[in-house]
Amino acid sequence: MKSKEFSIISLSLIVSFIITIAKFYAYIDTHSVAILSDALESIINVIAGAFACYSIYLASKPKDLNHPYGHGKVEFFSIGFEGGMILIAGCLILYKAVETFIVPHELHKLNLGIFIVVIAGIINFLLGIFLIRSGRKIPSITISGNGQHILTDAWSSLGLIAALVLIHFTGWQWLDPVASLLLGTLIIIKGYKLVRHSVSGLMDETDMKIVDNITRILNENRRSPWIDIHNMRVQQYGQNYHVDCHITMPYYFTLDQVHSEIKQVEYIVNRDFANGKVECFFHTDPCVPDSCPYCLMSDCPVRKYPFEKKIEWTRKTVLPNRQHLKSHEV
């Protein structure tokens, strides 16, 4: 799987390098600061692609004593690095645009510039779609992040093309730095979003979509001895996820019975979880009399209170660090 990831990201790197050369050639011929802005962003595609290649290589290394959860978190560093480089490029683009307002210059050969940007935009659009779909299928946040960046580059090129065509037919060359300012602003926003996603992953911010997915799987395959699930925590390491939580089970179960139920939970989660491999660590709590109103064990020999209602597992019930007791609002 990692070799496939490496092949995909290598393709992205090669294509981005070729497009960057073409855009700089267009800038040299046209002197358009808007095309320069587009070319600067393409440089970031190349640098980010190279770093992504290394991060995929590192993430593929197996767990060791120093990295018991593997090396997958390097992918968050990868998209954070990419976001930081994009922010720098955005600031440089804004600076160059303001400079051009102050000291304007004549544009040349716009026909050639428009043609090169159109071809580059089409290639980037197709490449971005391919990377995003591949990243979701594998799954790989590095490939998906790179694809989102390149796709945004394609949309930026579309705006640039519109500006160049308008300049060509109207002669309003002041539109060149205006287009550059708009591109720089969009690039900075995109860079911020990537950095934000990187920080979220490195800080182990809970991905509620993953929590919802896991609780859905557990609800659909629920067994009566699983009285409640609480204190759930989810961490992502590249393609792998680490899930730990507390499961309440009948206090009279033997250790063998508890172990069998835990293995069943692990099997079900990994069987139905489509986002990657899940490593599960479960802590079992013994039931107490206040658990009876929500316990689905119809043949329980020690029931103290009658059954009242079934509690559906949702974010609200599985994330707090408490059992689903009668005294709690659920």
pLDDT per position as a tens digit, 15-50: 989 999 999 999 888 888 878 878 877 887 787 778
CATH 1.10.357.10 fits 2-202, yes or no: no
pLDDT value at residue 330: 45
Nearest to 44 by CA among 97, 14, 87, 94: 87
Please name the fold of domain 208-318. Alpha-Beta Plaits (3.30.70)
Measured between alpha carbons, how far is residue 38 from residues 24, 30, 84, 92, 169 in Å?
A: 9, 13, 17, 11, 21
With 0-12 / 13-18 / 19 or more C-beta atoms within 10 angstroms meaning exposed / middle / buried, residue 41 is buried
Domain ranges of the chain: 2-202, 208-318
Q: 268 Cβ partners below 8 Å, 6+ apart?
A: 217, 218, 221
Letter string b/e over residues 133-168, b meaning 16 or more CB atoms within 10 A of that residue's CB: ebbeebebbbbbbbbbbbbbbbebbebbbebbeebe
Mean pLDDT to the nearest integer, 293-318: 91
Q: What is the DSSP string of 278-304?
A: EEEEEEEEE--GGGGGG---TT-TT--
pLDDT per position as a tens digit, 190-240: 788 878 877 776 666 677 888 999 999 999 999 999 999 999 988 877 667
What average pLDDT is seen over the chain? 83
| Count of Cβ atoms closer than 10 Å to residue 201 Cβ | 22
Q: Cβ(177)–Cβ(100) under 8 Å?
A: yes
pLDDT value at residue 303: 93
292, pLDDT greater than 70: yes
Nearest to 84 by CA among 181, 199, 180: 199
Q: Cβ(5)–Cβ(141) under 8 Å?
A: no
The span from the CA of 33 to the CA of 203, in Å, is 38
